[in-house]
């Protein structure tokens, strides 16, 4: 049909893709993306909440930690999640790595690695090797391959490697990457 020399194209008869313009498509698309993101996040990361005072002053009761599950390199000073002593996960700091010879100068409250006194700016009290009489760990302690020595920063209030011995790499669930302070 022509009007005044131009070909007429009616605009009211255009077919639309009902699915892409409906209310449900963007909602379903968003839900699928959110589920995929959550699956990827939960596969690679974990979330933990600090319970107790053993990591003060670095971490406080109620702080939330995001940890990387697939870390293969752990260094002295790293904050990690471990499963040890037949209990739930603990948050501790790596204080000794494979090959280190560890000891304590209990007279002066000093922690030694390979005979050298360690400077630990994250702690505020002295460090003693024998904190409970029933401890069967003797020093100097040499860490073998895949063994790590962990302690809490609040040394007098921490159940750690001084009590249950070195932890294996398999007991480490991940390394902290983000810390969210949740205090009023």
**Tokens linked to 131:** 């904190």
54 flagged as catalytic: yes
The neighbour count for residue 136, using CB atoms within 10 Å, is 7
**6, burial (CB in 10 Å: exposed 0-12, middle 13-18, buried 19+):** exposed
- Is residue 28 within a helix (H) or strand (E), and if so which, with residue range? helix 24-44
d(CA 56, CA 152): 8
**Tokens linked to 53:** 């005072």
119 flagged as catalytic: no
Catalytic residue among 4, 92, 134, 156: 92
Helix, strand or coil, per DSSP, at residue 111: strand
Catalytic residue among 4, 6, 54, 144: 54
First to last CA, the chain: 74
Catalytic positions, written as ranges: 54, 92
């Amino acid at each position: 049909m022509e009007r005044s020399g131009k070909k007429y194209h009616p605009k009211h008869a255009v077919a639309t893709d009902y699915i892409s313009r409906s209310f449900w498509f963007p909602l379903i698309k968003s839900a699928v993306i959110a589920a995929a993101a959550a699956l990827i996040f939960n596969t690679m990361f974990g979330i933990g909440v600090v319970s107790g005072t053993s990591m003060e002053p670095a971490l406080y009761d109620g702080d939330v930690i995001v940890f990387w599950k697939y870390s293969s390199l752990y260094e002295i000073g790293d904050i990690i999640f471990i499963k040890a002593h037949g209990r739930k996960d603990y948050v501790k700091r790596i204080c000794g790595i494979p090959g280190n010879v560890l000891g304590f100068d209990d007279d002066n409250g000093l922690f030694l690695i390979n005979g050298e006194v360690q400077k630990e700016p994250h702690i505020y009290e002295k460090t003693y090797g024998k904190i409970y009489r029933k401890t069967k760990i003797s020093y100097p302690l040499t860490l073998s391959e895949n063994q790590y020595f962990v302690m809490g920063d609040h040394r007098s209030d921490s159940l750690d490697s001084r009590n249950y011995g070195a932890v294996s790499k398999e007991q480490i669930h991940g390394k902290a990457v983000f810390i969210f302070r949740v205090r009023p």
